[in-house]
């Protein structure tokens, strides 16, 4: 049929990084560090009430990584301290470099 675009049939490969993080709500300041098991510990000043810590996590990561909030998605652990977070548009090496945690 005329007018159909062949680009619909092609799948685009999306670059993304999925991180395992442990959240520490009600911290004195926002920050990130690498734990011994390789996961990340993210300290947030927001309380763990009504999703405030989740919103603060998305805001913190989007600001730190210079991506829009829509590119940061909590994949699992919405009500737990242990979470898996997907960052679209950049690879894991870029995320680690931007978070300044390679040497920790």
The sign of the torsion formed by the CA atoms of 46, 78, 33, 92 equals: negative
Domains belonging to the chain, first-starting first, are: 15-99 (3.30.1200.10)
> CB of 95 within 8 A of CB of 20?
no
Give pTM, 2 decimals: 0.82
DSSP labels, 29-65: S-EEEE-TTS-EEEE-SS-SSTTHHHHHHHHHHHHHH
What percent of the chain lies above the pLDDT cut of 90? 73
76 within 8 A of 84, measured Cβ to Cβ: yes
Encode pLDDT of 54-89 as tens digits.
999 999 999 999 999 999 999 999 999 999 999 999
**What is the token pair recorded at 62?**
């989007």
Distance between CA 22 and CA 36 in Å, rounded? 12
SS3 70: helix
């Amino acid at each position: 049929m005329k007018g159909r675009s062949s680009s619909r049939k092609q799948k685009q490969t999306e670059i993304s990084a999925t991180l395992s993080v442990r959240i520490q709500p009600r911290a004195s300041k926002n920050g990130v560090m690498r734990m011994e098991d390789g996961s990340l510990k993210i300290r947030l000043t927001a309380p763990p009430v009504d999703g405030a810590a989740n919103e603060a996590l998305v805001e913190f990561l989007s600001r730190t990584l210079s991506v829009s909030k829509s590119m940061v998605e909590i994949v699992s652990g919405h009500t737990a301290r242990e979470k898996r977070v997907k960052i679209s548009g950049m690879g894991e090496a870029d995320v680690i470099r931007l978070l300044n945690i390679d040497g920790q």
